[in-house]
Chains A and B, each alone.
Chain A
Amino acid sequence: MIKRNYLEDLNNSKKPFIIYRSNKGFDLYTDFSKKIILTKKNIEKFINQSTKLKSKNKETDLFIGFFGYEILNNLIGIKVKKQKGLKFPKGIFYKPETKIKLPNKLNYKNLGIVRLNKLFKININKSSYKTIFDKFKKKIKSGETYQIKICTKYSNKGKIDALDFFCRLVKSNMAPEAFMIKDKDYSIISCSPENLINKKNDFITTKPIAGTLKKTKKLNRIKALAFFKKNIKESKEHNMIVDMERSDLSKICKAGSVKIIKKKIVEEYKDLYHYVSLIGGSLKKNTSSLNIIKSMMPGGSVIGCPKISTLNLLNKQEKESRNIYTGSFGYIRSNGDMRFNIIIRSILNHKNNSEISVASGVVIDSKAAHEFNENYIKAKALMDLYK
């Protein structure tokens, strides 16, 4: 049993720590013996060496951290021009020496008084959103992309108590890939619902989400499924992601082994329903961790399709760095097993600057006003924490 006020003490100690959703509650990682800041130069070496720790059996024989959006582009040979935004590392990984299991209910109360800034700035207003939207629609008509996600960013200045934010966030939304990182000059809080890589031995799965429905009293799982099935736009987006993820897995899996394990099912969360598929396959012999990461990242469902031409279109358009947004958080164990999510529904606070990025998809039948609003709804759930 951990002490009642363990989290409070840890938070007050200023020691960096990470919390990641587990099957039964949360895992907390701390006492970091190594911290690796990723650059274009060291990333491949880092991934290759992450599985070369001497000890391979302990629960802490792993590197945990995140890859930002830009470095994942670089890793697959896509350039991102210089962008504005926070000067934040492209990726950071830690080697923990302590792992502690936490229950579902996190016991932490913020007692220190932090005055929160409620006001947010948005980087793209409705009319410039419409302009970008129309431009991308033309690209869909000409076949350069089939689906593309426009990112908008909300930002503000001010101190936050990341642990307090995280506890409140998971109380209202127990997302299966929720995590937080707290380090000296930055913190990340996320209620990501989406697993990108789950690799155990030579079996790998990915679990894309395409389609979200807000819960109401009239809805249940069966009705939600009927809604998604009837909604041709949602179905088409989902189909596209399923075929794309099958193809990404096929790069590294044995021929004939890639299967849709759960096809277009509805998963129920506290406030919403997700339209989800689970796809898996058996890895080819001697597939390296680097190869797996390059094949799967950045996760297609939050980029669009086809991945490379869509990434190029996005990078040409976007003036501000996505930083962590649509990157991946997770761990590589020294035995080669991995778990990574897609970083969405997240707050990055760096030197007391917060940013919340959100995106929604443009397909041929999308409407600009609707998608702009969807983005706002997604961001609002996080901005509400500042109240």
Chain B
Amino acid sequence: MIYIIDHKDSFTHNVVHQFENYDNVTCDNYNEIDEKKLNKSKVIVFSPGPGAPKDYPISSGIYKKFKGKKKIIGICLGFQQILHCEKGKIIEQKKIYHGYQSKIKVTSDNSLFKKNRKFNVGRYHSLKLKEPFAAKNFEITMRCAISNVAMAIENNKENVYGFQFHPESFLTENGNLLIKKILSA
């Protein structure tokens, strides 16, 4: 079972439907987390949401508790949540992307995805990762083809993954494939 934590976003249920293609999904509100179901789940997903990672301490607690024990996937705010827990700095960016389709690129040899592959994705983010960023076992594997901003992280050792863009958006090409590959990794 996949447990999705909804940070009160207006895109969360697109995420739910996308993951339901591959497994049973339970989705609960950030304020109403069901410990039993969370413990039972195989995968935890941090949803997109408004604000910044520091606004969601419960999700940070869950990340620290289950890192290395369950597969963890973060999307948009969820991606930033993981980085925040890994001591990354999340900052405002000059150019803001809301409802924006842009090209990104796979930049790492160690990614589950093929290096140098480019594709269009949907983006909804005010904030970004401040670089340089380094954390054990983590690698930035995708970047914006124009601005170079970090777009995905992978930690294939402890099974932690995150996307700054929205794989569930109708603006993202092959979003389902991305999720399928991560889930079967």
Smallest CB–CB gap between A67 and chain B, Å?
19
In contact, B51 and A244 (Cβ under 8 angstroms): no
Interface-facing stretch out of B58-66, B98-106, B133-141: B98-106
Nearest B-chain residue to A264, judged by Cβ: B170
A143 to B123, CA, bound (A): 13
A238 at the binding interface (Cβ < 8 Å): yes
B143 at the binding interface (Cβ < 8 Å): no
B101 proximity list for chain A (CB < 8 A):
239
Question: Given contacts A243-B14, A250-B17, A364-B98, is CB(A144)–CB(B122) below 8 Å?
Answer: no
B12 at the binding interface (Cβ < 8 Å): yes
A250 to B170, CA, bound (A): 13
B168 proximity list for chain A (CB < 8 A):
243
B125 proximity list for chain A (CB < 8 A):
143
In contact, B11 and A140 (Cβ under 8 angstroms): no
Question: Given contacts A240-B124, A260-B170, A306-B9, is CB(A364)–CB(B14) below 8 Å?
Answer: no
B16 at the binding interface (Cβ < 8 Å): yes
In contact, B13 and A248 (Cβ under 8 angstroms): yes
A305 proximity list for chain B (CB < 8 A):
10
In contact, A142 and B51 (Cβ under 8 angstroms): yes
In contact, A364 and B8 (Cβ under 8 angstroms): no
Smallest CB–CB gap between B22 and chain A, Å?
10
A353 at the binding interface (Cβ < 8 Å): no
A140 proximity list for chain B (CB < 8 A):
96, 98, 126
A53 proximity list for chain B (CB < 8 A):
none
A300 proximity list for chain B (CB < 8 A):
10
B71 proximity list for chain A (CB < 8 A):
none
A247 at the binding interface (Cβ < 8 Å): yes
Q: What is the size category of the interface that chain B forms with chain A?
A: 20 to 34
A310 proximity list for chain B (CB < 8 A):
50
A308 to B7, CA, bound (A): 10
A308 proximity list for chain B (CB < 8 A):
8, 10
Question: Given contacts A143-B52, A240-B124, is CB(A246)–CB(B170) below 8 Å?
Answer: yes
A215 at the binding interface (Cβ < 8 Å): no
For B16, B98, B122, B127, which residue has the most chain A Cβ atoms within 10 angstroms?
A: B98
A238 to B170, CA, bound (A): 12
A364 to B94, CA, bound (A): 11
Interface-facing stretch out of A56-64, A107-115, A171-179, A251-259: A251-259
Contact mask for chain B residues 146-179; partner A; CB cutoff 8 A; 1 contact, 0 none:
0000000000000000000010111100000000
In contact, B10 and A248 (Cβ under 8 angstroms): yes
A141 at the binding interface (Cβ < 8 Å): yes
A168 to B92, CA, bound (A): 49
